[in-house]
Structure formats: C-alpha cells, structure tokens
Amino acid sequence: MILLLDLCYERETLSKYEFVYPIADTLKRAGARFEIQHFTQADERKQEEYSKIILCGTALKDNAYSKRLDLFSWLKTCEKPVLGICAGMQVIGSVFGGCMVSQMAIGLETLEILAATPLLGEPRQIQVYHLHNFGVTMPEGFLLAAGSAAFVKAFRHREKPIYGIIFHPEVRNRWVLERFLKL
C-alpha cells in the first residue's frame, strides 16, 4: 500500500483535485493500492503499514506545509522509497538541511537528466511541466540528478531510496510515477 501525503494548506481543498487525485489516478491505473492522508493527520506510527510514500505538490501560493516541517521529521529515519513532488521535494530538502528559495517556474521546460537514477533513468533530455514559486538548495547527503547547484530540479539520497523532483509528473511524465512503483 502506498501513502499519498496531501500537502495542501488544509484538507479537502480544490487543490487536492489538481495535485493529489491525478497522482492517485496514475497509481490506480497501474494497479497499485494507495491511501490519501493530509500531512497534518499523517500518523508516524501508522506509516509502517505503507511500502512507499509520495509527498504531493500544492498550488503556487500554498506553502503552509513549510511552516510545519516538524511533522516531517520521520523522513530522516525512513528506509522505504519516498518521492517528493514539487512541494514534497521542498519538504525533503528542508528536512535534510537544504533551504527553500524563491524560484518561480510555470510551464514546459526541457530538463537535462545529469545522472542515472532508478527513478528517472539514464542521462538525457525530457520535457517536464513546472508550477512552483519555490525551489530548494541541495541538502547534505543527496546527489544532484537534474538541474544545477543554483536550480536543483531533481535529487536522490546517497544511501536511501528518497527522491525529489521539482516538476509535476502527474501532468506530463506519468512514467516517473510508474517507475517509482517499481522501486
């Protein structure tokens, strides 16, 4: 069972239809079982029931999750696969010592994958969709997978199966979510 963490500012917002349900739809089509929880209700003890965790994105003006990073401290000891999408990447980066930075991007962009990862595959260029006001600096213990030191687009933990991507695979690259299922 996969846990989808809704990072929207409050439960049952319209943003859930844009940022959580499309991910759920991709998982459902792939035959995966999942449960959706709002990040303020995620029970750290209950997380042991899940095989994988996805931290979903949020709307442009929504950064309420960044004021409750204490709710994500469990990431430091997590050993199961975790994928942070947009706001989820910002959470992962911040928990591991990176900083959120102003970095607006909206629309399609060519992304250069710099290093092979089980999530993104071999180095190459792909088209991705961005919708964010913030990026994150490179956290300690992570490797850059796409982007640059100034504009981190994707990273992975050196030892754990924890990944962050700033783009939205539910819009343009659903194959990323399907690859995550196979980790």
Catalytic status, residue 44: no
Catalytic status, residue 168: yes
Which amino acid is located at 104 in the chain? M
Across the beta sheet with 152-157, what order do the strands follow?
34-38, 2-6, 52-55, 82-85, 162-165, 152-157, 142-147, 100-113, 124-136
Distant-in-sequence, close-in-space partners of 43: CB < 8 Å, separation ≥ 6: none
Catalytic status, residue 86: yes
Choice among 8, 86, 132, 157 that is catalytic? 86
Supply 86's token pair: 């947009």
Q: How far separated are the first and last CA of the chain, in Å rounded?
A: 13
Residues labelled catalytic? 86, 168, 170
